[in-house]
Amino acid sequence: MKKSVLTRYRVMAYVTGVLLVLLTLGVIAKYGLQIDGAAKFTTAIGIAHGWLYVIYLVFAFDLGSKAKWPVTKQLWVLLAGTIPTAAFFVERKVSRELEATVADAAPAVAEA
pLDDT digits 0-9 by tens, 46-102? 999 999 999 999 999 998 888 888 988 889 888 888 888 888 898 888 888 888 776
- The pLDDT value recorded for residue 110 is 56
Measure the CA–CA gap between 11 and 16, rounded to whole angstroms: 9
Q: Which residues contact 35 (CB under 8 A, 6 or more apart)?
A: 29
**Is the pLDDT confidence value at 17 over 70?**
yes
* d(C-alpha 102, C-alpha 112), whole Å: 24
- Which pTM value belongs to this model? 0.80
Q: Which pLDDT does position 111 carry in this prediction?
A: 65
- Please check the confidence at residue 108 and state whether its pLDDT lies above 60: no
